């Protein structure tokens, strides 16, 4: 696989914020088997990093599920975090996001602008805390986040 080339990259703070790439919406029913991400800074502090599943409901965009993951502490390289089977269900039309529901001024994720000429867009949700149920997402154009996932489709048992 060829490495992804970036035209620019910046750090975005993770504290009380979540980030999603809308082009990674879920196209099947299943469960997340792994999340891959790249932090802009080494992980500090004891507050957890979360994977959020966002769904469109009658009241708007809601946090369907929160799942705590453990980031590697001493690296800003790409990391893959495996999720136990069936622990993190995801459905057609859902988005996967990453972020924190606690304050952190130092933990950051990469915001990247692709060197390819394909349009890129990211979503940011702010003021995320333990009681947040609805999320207002702000779109940012020409930038995305160093985040992706793999899933198992429960209907066909295939990775997508």
Q: What is the pLDDT along the chain (160 residues), one digit of tens a residue?
A: 344 555 667 899 999 999 999 888 888 899 999 999 999 999 988 899 999 999 988 888 899 999 999 998 889 999 999 999 999 999 999 999 999 999 877 899 999 876 666 667 899 999 999 999 999 999 988 888 999 999 998 876 544 4
Q: How many domains in the chain?
A: 1
Instruction: Supply the pLDDT for residue 132.
Output: 95
* Maximal C-alpha separation, the chain: 42
Q: Report CA-CA distances (Å) from 129 to 69, 78, 109, 126.
A: 16, 26, 18, 9
pTM score: 0.88
Instruction: Supply the pLDDT for residue 7.
Output: 63
* 147 within domain boundaries: no
* 159 within domain boundaries: no
* 141 within domain boundaries: no
Instruction: Supply the pLDDT for residue 160.
Output: 45
Instruction: Supply the pLDDT for residue 77.
Output: 92
- Label residues 55-66 b or e (16+ Cβ within 10 Å = b): beeeeebebbbb
* 151 within domain boundaries: no
* 1 within domain boundaries: no
Distance CA 117, CA 123 (A): 19
Q: Report CA-CA distances (Å) from 116 to 34, 40, 50.
A: 25, 21, 29
Instruction: Supply the pLDDT for residue 1.
Output: 36
Instruction: For the chain, list the strands marked E by DSSP.
Output: 6-13, 17-20, 30-37, 49-57, 60-69, 79-82, 89-90, 95-99, 108-114, 121-126, 137-141, 144-145, 147-153
Range of the domain at 75: 6-119+129-136
Instruction: Supply the pLDDT for residue 157.
Output: 52
* 155 within domain boundaries: no
């Amino acid at each position: 696989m060829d490495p992804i080339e970036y035209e620019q990259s910046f750090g975005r703070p993770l504290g009380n914020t979540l980030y999603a790439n809308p082009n990674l919406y879920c196209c099947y029913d299943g469960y997340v088997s792994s999340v891959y991400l790249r932090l802009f800074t080494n992980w500090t502090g004891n507050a957890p990093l979360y994977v959020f599943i966002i769904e469109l409901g009658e009241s708007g965009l809601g946090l369907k599920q929160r799942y705590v993951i453990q980031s590697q502490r001493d690296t800003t390289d790409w990391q893959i975090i495996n999720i136990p089977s069936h622990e993190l269900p995801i459905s057609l039309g859902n988005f996967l996001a990453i972020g924190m529901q606690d304050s952190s001024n130092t933990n950051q994720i990469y915001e990247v602008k692709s060197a390819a000429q394909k349009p890129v867009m990211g979503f940011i949700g702010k003021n995320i805390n333990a009681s947040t149920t609805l999320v207002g997402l702000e779109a940012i154009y020409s930038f995305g986040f160093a985040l992706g996932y793999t899933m198992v489709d429960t209907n066909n048992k295939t990775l997508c």
